[in-house]
Structure 1
Amino acid sequence: MQRDNQIVSHIIGINALVWIFTLVMESQGIPLNLYGGMFYAISPLFQPWQPLTHMFMHGGFMHIAFNMYALYLFGSILERVWGWRRFLFFYMSAGLGAALIHQIATGVEAYMLFDSVYPAEGWREIYIPVVGASGAVMGVVVAFGLLFPNTRLQLLFPPIPIAAKYLVLIVIAFDAFFVIRGIDDGIAHWAHLGGAATGFLMVKMWSLNRDAFY
């Protein structure tokens, strides 16, 4: 008998192993994020596998811990509902959708900076890799909010209960605020929004064809 959350467990395990391996290699002077992280498409450091591999690369401990906790919390339930094949397809699609939106946003931002009084900032944009499963996880969170909108969740900070649909709105509003204000905090907010949008569209399309991927 197969476990209900086998794919979620495997994804978490792969991410953990890659993170540990990255730390080991960095201690030897080999920065794997320069190979597995995703650079802008016109950067000489860009490689065709990066839109996929960046989803399994992370920065600090809190980065991977938060992503994997959210994936386990919401993804385990979605996998039980959808089955592992459909969930895996959804997860990877959300991550690739996040990568696409991030690429487009980076291109627009770099172009605007090249045409401004700060052209050097444009070059900086295309030489900064993005890493993390946050875009894919955002898709998972949005899907959970759409399928179980009134489920009560307990926040960690602050420790109060909140309906899933409101949590999704708050998280999206947070990312949108940083994008609109143009605040550079080192977080790929466009990737988050891209993953959220991809997750939203996929759930809506599947709701129109309930036989798809079953």
Structure 2
Amino acid sequence: MDIWADIKNTFKYGSVLTRLIYINLGVFLVIKLLGVLFYLGGQQLHLVEWLSVPSNLQVLLHRFWTPVTYMFLHEGFLHLLFNVLGLYWFGKLFLYHFEGEKLLSVYIMGGLSGALMYVLAYNIFPVFSSVNGILLGASASIIAILVAVAVYDPQREIYLFFIGRFPLKYVALFYVLLSVIGISTSNPGGNLAHLGGAAWGWFYISQLKRGKDHGAGIVTFIGKVGSWFKSKQRMKVTFKQQAPPRDDHEYNRQQNLKQDEINRILDKIAKSGYESLTKKEKEILFKQGK
């Protein structure tokens, strides 16, 4: 079973939402496997601490990468499970209205806003003066996505188990109020980060309605960073572009050839199963699925 190839194809041809979920799952798995190796070696793994946002400003200056890394980091399985489910549900609602690039920008900027709110609160309010905490998890980014889609489509109804259908605006309001109450009862740092993410979700959509996309810059930056890693591959690989059809007859011929290839692959799956496909055949199916 070529599981790794299937995962790479799903990540490569999947949506932004799929990739975000894969990154969160992958980071969790890598850290847990490293934890096992360190445990067997009689050592303690400090990677989670080095990837989480510290409340201490001096420590933060030396770990300047943490406002980005923390939003993909989960230490417990249930923490990961609930955040991945929330990301999937609310991400799907967001993608009903917007393209994947906007989802990515809200996730990243919502997470950064959550980290900012957390650090500011822990260095302003006296109750946190003697506390050295760390922040991790994707919940601030997820709350940002939820609030963003709720502000854009407040009357959209979603189904809640054991309760029934509720307008999305009330679901978002419930999570925001729960975060406010939770500041003084449990996990104050996480709940403060939720409020930072919620603030960005509201701000982003309110500005987008005025024609201003304040998340476009971060998407452009990520695209440029990604192009650096692809540059070497472009130098090694050449692509032969298929000439456009000269007339309707040629166009129909090309379409029939594509359909024949798909039918052949489907017949192969019916006879021998999905695992019998070659890597190229699987890629053709993924592209066709898009």
Correspondence 1:102 to 2:113: no
- Counterpart of 2:31? 22
How many residues align? The count is 198
- Counterpart of 1:89? 105
User: In the superposition, relative to structure 1, how do residues 142 and 4 fare at CA in structure 2: closer, same or farther (>3 Å)?
Assistant: farther
**Distance across 1 between alignment mates of 2:213 and 2:123:** 38
Checking the alignment, whether the CA contact within 8 Å between 1:22 and 1:31 is kept in structure 2 is: no
Higher helix share: 2
User: In the superposition, relative to structure 1, how do residues 52 and 113 fare at CA in structure 2: closer, same or farther (>3 Å)?
Assistant: closer
Checking the alignment, whether the CA contact within 8 Å between 1:67 and 1:137 is kept in structure 2 is: yes
Q: Please, what TM-score do these two structures have when normalized by structure 1?
A: 0.83
Counterparts of 1:31-42 in structure 2, within 5 Å, are 31-42=46-57
User: In the superposition, relative to structure 1, how do residues 151 and 113 fare at CA in structure 2: closer, same or farther (>3 Å)?
Assistant: closer
Counterparts of 1:1-214 in structure 2, within 5 Å, are 6-27=15-36, 28=38, 29-44=44-59, 47-109=63-125, 111-114=126-129, 122=130, 125-126=131-132, 128-156=133-161, 158-179=162-183, 182-185=184-187, 188-209=190-211
Secondary structure of residue in 2 paired with 1:30 = coil
Checking the alignment, whether the CA contact within 8 Å between 2:122 and 2:128 is kept in structure 1 is: no
Checking the alignment, whether the CA contact within 8 Å between 1:4 and 1:76 is kept in structure 2 is: no
Deviations 1:113-167 (A, max 9, x none): 54xxxxxxx1xx22x21110000100000012112212221223x4432111111
Q: Please, what TM-score do these two structures have when normalized by structure 2?
A: 0.62
Alpha-carbon offset, residue 105 of structure 1: 0.9
Identity of aligned residues (%): 24
**Distance across 2 between alignment mates of 1:198 and 1:167:** 17
Q: Larger deviation: 132-141 or 62-71? A: 62-71
Checking the alignment, whether the CA contact within 8 Å between 1:4 and 1:80 is kept in structure 2 is: no
Q: Which amino acid aligns with 2:70?
A: H
**For the aligned residues, what is the CA RMSD?**
2.4
User: In the superposition, relative to structure 1, how do residues 80 and 164 fare at CA in structure 2: closer, same or farther (>3 Å)?
Assistant: closer
User: In the superposition, relative to structure 1, how do residues 107 and 206 fare at CA in structure 2: closer, same or farther (>3 Å)?
Assistant: same
Alpha-carbon offset, residue 85 of structure 1: 1.8
Return the index of the structure with the highest Cα Rg. Answer: 2
Q: Which runs of 5+ in 1 are unaligned?
A: 115-121
Q: Larger deviation: 191-200 or 69-78? A: 69-78
**Distance across 1 between alignment mates of 2:189 and 2:116:** 16
Alpha-carbon offset, residue 210 of structure 1: 6.3
User: In the superposition, relative to structure 1, how do residues 84 and 108 fare at CA in structure 2: closer, same or farther (>3 Å)?
Assistant: same
Q: Which amino acid aligns with 2:122?
A: T
Deviations 1:47-103 (A, max 9, x none): 000000000101211111111111111112323532122221221111101110011
